Amino acid sequence: MRNLNRQRDIASLFSAKAIKALISKGVSGLPASSGYIEHLLTNRECSSVVHLFDTAYKELVASYRNEYVYKNAIAEKIIRGKHRFSKSCYFSSEFRVNNSIADVVIANGTTSAYEIKTEYDSFERLEGQLYDYFKVFDNVNVVLPEKCLDSWLPRIPCKTGVIVLTERYTLRTIREAHSNMYELDPNSVFSCLRRDEYIEAIKNQFGFTPQCKPVDLKKACRKLFLTLNSEVVHREFLNALRSRRLRKEKVELIKSAPPSLTSVLLSTSLNLREVETLRAVFSGGMESIQHSEA
């Protein structure tokens, strides 16, 4: 139990709460892991904040592959690696779709959802989760531990992509996802759009914005959106997600940050001042960290 508590403490470093604390209070503000950090500092095992996070992450990868490790592997290998932080590439962790929350969503050439099942998870809700994702995304994937593949593969629907996180911390595709573009549910897709996005979609397809009271605008836009065919629905959804692009300053921050923080930094809302504070933290040594107000 003590070892598990230590691992959970380390895992808490890789959260939006920890990032905000690092900005406002420096290393001493990092939550729930002060004992671990003090151990590293006392034994001079870390010379910088970057080294601290890298050391902590290596321990997670080696002994406690929780959900964050999988999310970050996807962010590292696909967003940082394959897409190289393309301006039109969208990444989100915990994307709500009907009654489910997709662990990771990526939109670039198409829309892809990734449902993560670690060795600590069960398959109890998988059927309902995939049912919701198939209504909205072109490609739907399940990501699971390599050692669980043989026993878990028969429980995953055939049109679902299957990816394993290997013992060497690589992502290996076992089965490609079948395109689901022509079976989308326009109503479910519409519910994922923000106000400015569904207005833009209607203008793109119909050349006008419904003339009605503001309180009735969403209903009027939805009615028009539901008349679109599945391919057009997907194209407008893809364009909407890709328009939620990262600011240049944040991309530069993530490039200078430890790779272990790729997922949490992509997913955490940061203003310009917070971005600049973090860049300074990551560029200096441990002794240079100052307690400051974000």
Tokens 């829309």 locate to 111
Task: Give the pLDDT of residue 293.
Answer: 38
The rounded distance, in Å, linking the Cα atoms of 89 and 107 is 6
Amino acid type, 211: Q
Vertex 178: Cα angle to 243 and 186 (nearest 5) = 50
- Give the H/E segment covering residue 197: helix 195-206
Predicted confidence (pLDDT) at residue 289 exceeds the cutoff of 50? no
Strand partners, 252: none
Positions of E strands within the chain:
90-97, 100-107, 111-116, 139-145, 161-165, 171-175
Extents of the domains making up the chain: 2-66+249-288, 86-181, 184-243
State which amino acid sits at residue 146.
Answer: E
CB 33: neighbour CB atoms within 10 A? 20
**Alpha-carbon distances, residue 14 vs 44, 52, 258 (angstroms):** 21, 12, 11
DSSP 8-state secondary structure symbol assigned to residue 114: E
Say yes or no to pLDDT of 31 above 70: no
Most confident segment among 54-63, 227-236, 252-261: 227-236
Q: How does 182-207 read in b/e, with b if 16+ C-beta sit within 10 Å?
A: eebbbebbbebbeeebbbbbbeebee
Pairing status of strand 171-175 against strand 161-165? antiparallel
CB 265 within 8 A of CB 249: no
Q: What number is the average pLDDT over the span 75-82?
A: 89
- 249: DSSP letter: H
Query: Helices 49-63 and 34-42: crossing angle, nearest 10°?
Result: 120
In angstroms, the first-to-last Cα distance of the chain is: 36
| CATH architecture, domain 86-181 | 3-Layer(aba) Sandwich (3.40)
* Residue 43 reports pLDDT greater than 70: no
pLDDT band at residue 41, thresholds of 50, 70 and 90? low
Q: Angle between the 272-283 and 248-256 helix axes, to the nearest 10 degrees?
A: 20
Q: Which of 172, 193, 269 is nearest to 235 (CA)?
A: 193
What is the band of 292 on the pLDDT scale with cuts at 50, 70, 90? very low
